[in-house]
A and B are shown apart, each in its own frame.
Chain A
Amino acid sequence: MASTEIARQAGEGVRGVPLAGHVGFDSMPDQLVNKSVNRGFCFNILCVGETGLGKSTLMDTLFNTKFEGEPTQHNQPGVTLKSYTYELQESNVRLKLTVVNTVGFGDQINKEDSYKSIVEFIDAQFEAYLQEELKIKRTLHSYHDTRIHACLYFIAPTGHSLKSLDLVTMKKLDSKVNIIPIIAKSDAISKSELAKFKIKITSELVSNGVQIYQFPTDDESVAEINSTMNSHLPFAVVGSTEEVKIGNKMVKARQYPWGTVQVENENHCDFVKLREMLIRVNMEDLREQTHTRHYELYRRCKLEEMGFKDTDPDSKPFSLQETYEAKRNEFMGELQKKEEEMRQMFVQRVKEKEAELKEAEKELHEKFDRLKKLHQDEKKKLEEKKKSLDDEVNIFKQKKTAAELLLNQAQQAGGSTTLKRDKERKNFF
């Protein structure tokens, strides 16, 4: 085994050298493991499934503790994700476990957008890690990794087939996270129905092109057990935190009038298989897949979206910084152009308005002039009339004086008659 690998690598231009004695670097894996133990591990599980399928109970059973939370109601308006972090310790291994629950999944009347909040959540975790990685001053080795390592998809035990909501959600999630489908509350299905159900589910997943997580079979020590487990997917599980006395032991079980379902009995359900696969055999592989496959895919898409390229047409590698600066300059240029446009438009509008106002002013002036002229004409006319009236008055006065003169002359001629007339007049009164 070792010699073939060395020979293979010798083909790459590096030669293998045999050791003449014990050097001691076989302690390297131990050093590595010790370092990791000091640092602690973190593992994040996402539980997706309709309300009431036993997600929280299964988590409790898997990790042997009582986690937070009461059962959720069925009247949630949308799907929200609640995450809880716990610190577990077993012998000298410290594990920071985060369990994320989907609240309200499958409860709405219109379920078209149910998967969106889940996808957004997963993307947000990737984004946070990407931001940390791109920082200038970063602390990657002490960063609390919140990326989802495993997604347990709970399938309702109808016994027929997958629901369309399940298919759609799993299709959307399979490129973002490792999906492990499990049949929840499987004590509701009988053994023969279960076999048919499993076959139906796997064929539906395959025909719809959903890529669920396959346990890795390239490492000899676990290849065998992983490949047998692969054939048992999806696991049919039963969760229970209550303990029942069977024989003289206390085991986790669910008690019915017609019998007791033992959780850790492999004949009753696949719980033990799930625990083996998820925790004892493949936890590290799940983390690695998340980092090397799903996260890298997200990172690649995100950076390409932002317009970064790896090499320019001359195939000289761009530096991220240069591309970023180029983008920024481009953006600033665009902003400036837009600003210019707006300014020009503004200036134009102002001009138009000014022209309008000038027009109005001119009109007003004209009107004013016209009125003034009218007024003057009127005035003239009146004055003329007045003049003519004055003339008439003058003529009249002249006539009057002439008439009075005549009257006086006449009076002097017949003065006494007037006196008489006066006396008569006085006697009258």
Chain B
Amino acid sequence: MSESAKPHHPSPQGKGEKTHGGDFSYVGIDAILEQMRRKAMKQGFELNLMVVGQSGLGKSTLMNTLFKSKVSRNKSVQSDPEERIPKTVEIKSISHDVEEKGVRMKLTVIDTPGFGDQINNENCWQPIMKFINDQYEVYLQEEININRKKRIPDSRVHCCIYFIPPTGHCLRPLDVEFMSRLSKVVNIVPVIAKADTLTLEERGSFKQTIREELRANGIDVYPQKEFDEDAEDRMINDKIREMIPFAVVGSDQEYQVNGKRILGRKTKWGTIEVENVAHCEFAYLRDLLIRTHMQNIKDITGSIHYETYRVRRLNESNAHLISQPSDHPAGSLLQ
């Protein structure tokens, strides 16, 4: 391996790129990639996903399909057919350790039963906002500590998957309200749930409407336009932006199709294959979330959303404390 050649002399400020030709001039700097990979494998990864949507849209099933195991809240066989619908939005978070080819990951799925299920759904996003901000707060407190842990456990929500019911018309006010509020604090990936009720044309027009509505309301979903790093990134992300929201179908049952066992939904008129891109866009969602953009999602959460929260939090505690001393003398006089 040889170093790249740039023919110019070192300038007086002490910067220079110099090379030597030849095989024995290999220094070995690129071995750092291998070292980094080893360290990452040893440490493992953490991923926190939140699923938000009305009950019955297939959130848990989709999670199970994504990670090919039962990661969502347990639905035991003996449960009541009508599960109790919570009076307020609850936040249930379940963690699992999964491992694939030596790579360990701590996956946390955060479920929000009760969202959008009441008659009056005002402020149903508040418990969710509070939860997300609480996770940022915990991380901030740990970071500010004097004696802090070697690796701060990351419980911040990296990605929020929002389920849109497949009405085929347009976004409901609840959807718009929720997404516009939460897109500022967390990465939102909207998906059209139970997309096997829409034909391809209906799906196309529904998506178009949704995209226009998102643009009209100024909602920036992941991948956000402003965080594209370079032209290559922009190209890849533009392709993704053309496709959101993904129309997905989830299933954790396997069927035999053409001699292969694949995940799907069997109906009288055919079998919908989950991983077939001609049937639904599950594969794209999985690739985006897991195979290509996971690190990017975590980086944006860590460096942009978290930093925004931190700035706001430090500023407001600053302002709060500056106004405090004016209270004290009066108080002490009363004493």
Q: Is the CB of B32 within 8 A of A28?
A: no
Contact flag A26-B102 (CB < 8 Å), given A86-B15, A280-B31, A282-B35: yes
A93–B150 Cα gap in the complex (Å)? 27
Q: Give per-residue flags for B282-294: 1 if the beta carbon is below 8 A from chain A beta carbons, else 0.
A: 0000110011111
Q: Is the CB of B28 within 8 A of A279?
A: yes
Contact flag A141-B303 (CB < 8 Å), given A16-B96, A24-B287: yes
Which residues on B sit within 8 Å (CB–CB) of A281? 31, 35
A420 at the interface (CB under 8 A from B): no
Q: Is the CB of A19 within 8 A of B307?
A: no
Contact check: which of A20, A22, A89, A329 meets B17 at CB < 8 Å?
A89
Interface residues contributed by chain B, number (CB under 8 Å): 80
A249–B22 Cα gap in the complex (Å)? 11
Q: Give per-residue flags for B1-44: 1 if the beta carbon is below 8 A from chain A beta carbons, else 0.
A: 10110000010001111111010111111111101111111100
Which residues on B sit within 8 Å (CB–CB) of A219? 38, 42
Contact check: which of B15, B97, B147, B148 meets A9 at CB < 8 Å?
B97
Who on chain B is nearest to A68 by CB?
B14
A285–B36 Cα gap in the complex (Å)? 9
Q: Give per-residue flags for B87-130: 1 if the beta carbon is below 8 A from chain A beta carbons, else 0.
A: 00000000111111111111000000000000000000000000
B296 at the interface (CB under 8 A from A): yes
Q: A17, A63, A303: which has the most chain B beta carbons within 10 Å?
A: A17
A35–B103 Cα gap in the complex (Å)? 18
Q: Is the CB of B36 within 8 A of A86?
A: no
Which residues on B sit within 8 Å (CB–CB) of A282? 35
Contact check: which of A9, A29, A65, A304 meets B40 at CB < 8 Å?
A29
Q: Is the CB of A90 within 8 A of B311?
A: no
Which residues on B sit within 8 Å (CB–CB) of A93? 29-30, 32-33
A285–B42 Cα gap in the complex (Å)? 12
A27–B295 Cα gap in the complex (Å)? 10
Q: Is the CB of B295 within 8 A of A321?
A: no
Which residues on A sit within 8 Å (CB–CB) of B330? none
Which residues on A sit within 8 Å (CB–CB) of B25? 64
Which residues on A sit within 8 Å (CB–CB) of B3? 64, 88-90
Which residues on A sit within 8 Å (CB–CB) of B38? 219, 221-222
Who on chain A is nearest to B16 by CB?
A86
Task: Name B295-311 residues within 8 Å CB distance of A.
Answer: 295-296, 299, 303, 307, 310-311
A393 at the interface (CB under 8 A from B): no
Who on chain B is nearest to A302 by CB?
B146
Which residues on B sit within 8 Å (CB–CB) of A67? 10, 16
Task: Name A66-124 residues within 8 Å CB distance of B.
Answer: 66-68, 84-93, 95
A218–B102 Cα gap in the complex (Å)? 17
Q: Give per-residue flags for A27-57: 1 if the beta carbon is below 8 A from chain B beta carbons, else 0.
A: 1111111111110010000000000000000
A9–B104 Cα gap in the complex (Å)? 11
A137 at the interface (CB under 8 A from B): yes
B67 at the interface (CB under 8 A from A): yes
B318 at the interface (CB under 8 A from A): yes
Q: Is the CB of A62 within 8 A of B102?
A: no
Which residues on A sit within 8 Å (CB–CB) of B95? 14
Contact check: which of A24, A222, A284, A325 meets B36 at CB < 8 Å?
A284
CB distance from A74 to the nearest CB of B (A): 22
Q: B67, B71, B106: which has the most chain A beta carbons within 10 Å?
A: B67
A27–B105 Cα gap in the complex (Å)? 12
Contact check: which of A10, A84, A288 meets B97 at CB < 8 Å?
A10
Q: Give per-residue flags for A222-246: 1 if the beta carbon is below 8 A from chain B beta carbons, else 0.
A: 1000000000000000000000000
Who on chain B is nearest to A8 by CB?
B97
Q: Is the CB of B27 within 8 A of A85?
A: no
Q: Give per-residue flags for B304-325: 1 if the beta carbon is below 8 A from chain A beta carbons, else 0.
A: 0001001100110110011011
Contact surface of A with B, Cβ cutoff 8 Å: 2, 5-6, 9-10, 14-38, 41, 62-68, 84-93, 95, 136-138, 140-141, 219, 221-222, 249-251, 264, 275-276, 279-285, 288, 292, 296, 299-300, 303-304, 308-310, 317, 319-322, 325, 329
Q: Can you list 16 residue pairs at the A/B interface with Cβ under 8 Å?
A: A19-B100, A23-B68, A28-B40, A28-B105, A30-B37, A35-B295, A35-B296, A37-B33, A38-B229, A65-B18, A136-B310, A138-B307, A250-B22, A275-B28, A292-B150, A308-B146
* 11 further A-B pairs in the complex, CB-CB below 8 A; given A309-B146, A321-B321: A6-B97, A9-B106, A14-B95, A16-B97, A24-B100, A65-B16, A68-B14, A68-B16, A86-B16, A219-B38, A280-B28
